[in-house]
Amino acid sequence: MPIRLHNSLTRSLTELTPRTPNRVTMYHCGPTVYSSPHIGNFRSFLFADVLRRFIEDQGFQVTQVMNVTDVGHLTLDDIEGGEDKMEVASRKAGKTAWQIAKLYEDEFHDCQRQVFVRTPHHMPRATEFIAQMGTIIDDLLQKGVAYQTNGNVYFEVAKFPQYGKLSGKVLDELESGARVAVNDEKKDPRDFALWKTDSLHQMQWEAPFRGGARGFPGWHIECSAMSMHYLGPQIDIHTGGEDNMFPHHECEIAQTEAHTGLPFVGIWMHARHLLVDGTKMSKRLGNFFTVGDILAKGYSGLELRYTLIRVQYRQTLNFTLKGLDEARAAIGRVQQARQRLVRVGGGQERAGDDDLTAAVATAQAVFTAAMQDDLNVSEALAAVFEFVNVVNKASMSVVGAKNGLVAFARFEDVLACFGGEPKGDATSEAPAELVALLAQRKACKQAKDWAGADRIRDQVAAAGWKIVDAQGGARLEKA
Ligand SMILES: [Zn+2]
């Protein structure tokens, strides 16, 4: 069975057939680093992470790029109005825009680690790709699909008749839209900025294209330049939140395809927004949570991750604190079942004769089919919990226990929301008696038996291994 993903461009399920066999290129619109990342942002980033993990699980080699927007994202980006978000944050905090960018980029990376995101292969900053943006702008000016007025450069939407093909917004509808900003400089209110001049803007550069003025880039051109730099003119998958579809992705398509003459993206994917307690998350309603807010309430990154990925990405997710409590209980059930497998596998619990072959095969097959079906994480989780029920009741053999651990390791490798050791971790290759010692040590620590825990650490060391304490739980590594 192939992986089938919902393509926002064709509004249909599309089989993933990468341009280069067995290699998948993915670009994700990353954070704008002007404030602490909120859980809505992270629903989208975690969707991208699960997507990558599953595609890798299916044997593809993935190259993943997620940008950091640190300049040019306006407060009213849908109508090209307002001020650069970095400038606003800078003024409020009494720091420079560069300091703000560094502060929140660091926090973003920290949040990614807290919720076990596999680090993308490239995480470029927009401010470091000004020259590449200039190359595209220069070409668009030469081709006559962009024009310059008072130093500002605009993309001329009328020159790209396919504009609107992603979002379905037709030109007339856009033209008559009441929210289109009044800007006398533009030939057409729908034209969007590629380069802007503003003598007060803190982040500015000499024009990276011929005949231009000092200024800073528009938000959309950043993603075109960075994806092209790392992944070439055509990419397999591009993701973002549903709010990115228009105008951001629509503009990315226009300027990239006008520049290269080639279809830009194979499959466009958009994660839906989440609701909090049944309504849109907003600071005004007091239901606004950053990742840090949730961790400060005593929930773990694992629990947050579970909560944010458990509903398929195109479905509405209603985030509640009760949902985090349910996540804690669900993770606990999986870990208990795993621990039983560790005990039977390590001889601490009497073994039976079920080798779990049939149950493992069923669980794996149902899990895979669910994920192949447009990343249906809820169905995949149902397969995991069905397997948990089997493990809890089974009278399994030592081999059965080890088979069961292999299945759990794979589920963890793809979803990374249960804790324990993912596939490929050295722990899965460690002798069973050491794996059992690891479980015993955890019990010691829970019982605050520090001497016992230290003794086990020494025993493991004597066998040539070491225990590494990590956020997902302790693991074994060869010393
Ligand atoms: Zn983008």
Interval between CA 262 and ligand 1 midpoint (Å):
18
Across 350-372, average pLDDT: 96
Interval between CA 446 and ligand 1 midpoint (Å):
44
Higher per-residue confidence, 445 vs 425:
445
Interval between CA 78 and ligand 1 midpoint (Å):
13
Please give the domain boundaries of the chain with CATH numbers for all domains.
4-271 (3.40.50.620), 426-479 (no CATH)
Across 83-93, average pLDDT: 91
Q: How far, in whole angstroms, is CA 90 from its chain's centroid?
A: 26
Across 224-232, average pLDDT: 98
Interval between CA 136 and ligand 1 midpoint (Å):
16
Q: Answer yes or no: is pLDDT of 461 > 60.
A: yes
Q: Answer yes or no: is pLDDT of 168 > 70.
A: yes
**Which two structure tokens, joined as six digits, stand for 170?**
């037709």
What is the pLDDT confidence band of residue 175, given thresholds at 50, 70 and 90?
low
Q: Answer yes or no: is pLDDT of 472 > 60.
A: no
Interval between CA 242 and ligand 1 midpoint (Å):
12
Of 26-30, 48-52, 187-191, 329-333, where does mean pLDDT reach its minimum? 187-191
Higher per-residue confidence, 50 vs 168:
50
Q: What percentage of the chain reaches a pLDDT higher than 90?
A: 77
Q: Answer yes or no: is pLDDT of 385 > 90.
A: yes
What is the pLDDT confidence band of residue 300, given thresholds at 50, 70 and 90?
very high
Interval between CA 34 and ligand 1 midpoint (Å):
15
Interval between CA 248 and ligand 1 midpoint (Å):
6
Q: What is the pLDDT of residue 473?
A: 65
Q: What is the pLDDT of residue 50?
A: 98
Interval between CA 383 and ligand 1 midpoint (Å):
34
Higher per-residue confidence, 183 vs 61:
61
Q: What is the pLDDT of residue 424?
A: 42
Interval between CA 67 and ligand 1 midpoint (Å):
7
Interval between CA 384 and ligand 1 midpoint (Å):
34
Interval between CA 26 and ligand 1 midpoint (Å):
12
What is the pLDDT confidence band of residue 477, given thresholds at 50, 70 and 90?
confident
Q: Answer yes or no: is pLDDT of 274 > 90.
A: yes
Contact 91, 37 (CB under 8 A): no
Interval between CA 311 and ligand 1 midpoint (Å):
24
Strand partners, 23: 20, 61
Short-list 167, 141, 168, 169, CA closest to 155: 141
Interval between CA 224 and ligand 1 midpoint (Å):
8
Interval between CA 370 and ligand 1 midpoint (Å):
28
Interval between CA 28 and ligand 1 midpoint (Å):
7
Q: What is the pLDDT of residue 434?
A: 81
Interval between CA 65 and ligand 1 midpoint (Å):
11
Q: What is the pLDDT of residue 135?
A: 98
Interval between CA 77 and ligand 1 midpoint (Å):
12
Higher per-residue confidence, 92 vs 437:
92
Q: What is the pLDDT of residue 180?
A: 52
Q: What is the pLDDT of residue 79?
A: 75
Interval between CA 147 and ligand 1 midpoint (Å):
22
What pTM was computed for the model?
0.86
Q: What is the pLDDT of residue 283?
A: 87
Interval between CA 178 and ligand 1 midpoint (Å):
25
What is the pLDDT confidence band of residue 427, given thresholds at 50, 70 and 90?
low
Interval between CA 180 and ligand 1 midpoint (Å):
21
Interval between CA 347 and ligand 1 midpoint (Å):
52
- CA 211 – CA 35 distance, rounded (Å): 35
Q: What is the pLDDT of residue 75?
A: 87
Higher per-residue confidence, 426 vs 68:
68
Across 54-79, average pLDDT: 92
Across 55-65, average pLDDT: 97
Contact 422, 412 (CB under 8 A): yes
Interval between CA 227 and ligand 1 midpoint (Å):
9
Task: Using the structure block, give the residue that is written with the tokens 């994700």.
Answer: 28
What is the pLDDT confidence band of residue 254, given thresholds at 50, 70 and 90?
very high
Does the N-terminal peptide bond of residue 2 adopt cis geometry, omega within 30 degrees of 0? no
Across 258-269, average pLDDT: 98
CA distances from 309 to 10, 63, 266, 306 (A): 25, 22, 24, 5
Q: Answer yes or no: is pLDDT of 295 > 70.
A: yes
Interval between CA 358 and ligand 1 midpoint (Å):
45
pLDDT digits (tens, 9 = 90+) for 125-149: 999 999 999 999 999 999 999 999 9
Q: Which amino acid appears at position 444 of this protein?
A: C
Interval between CA 31 and ligand 1 midpoint (Å):
9
What is the pLDDT confidence band of residue 70, given thresholds at 50, 70 and 90?
very high
Q: What percentage of the chain reaches a pLDDT higher than 70?
A: 94
- CA 381 – CA 378 distance, rounded (Å): 5
Mean pLDDT in the chain?
A: 92
Interval between CA 200 and ligand 1 midpoint (Å):
25
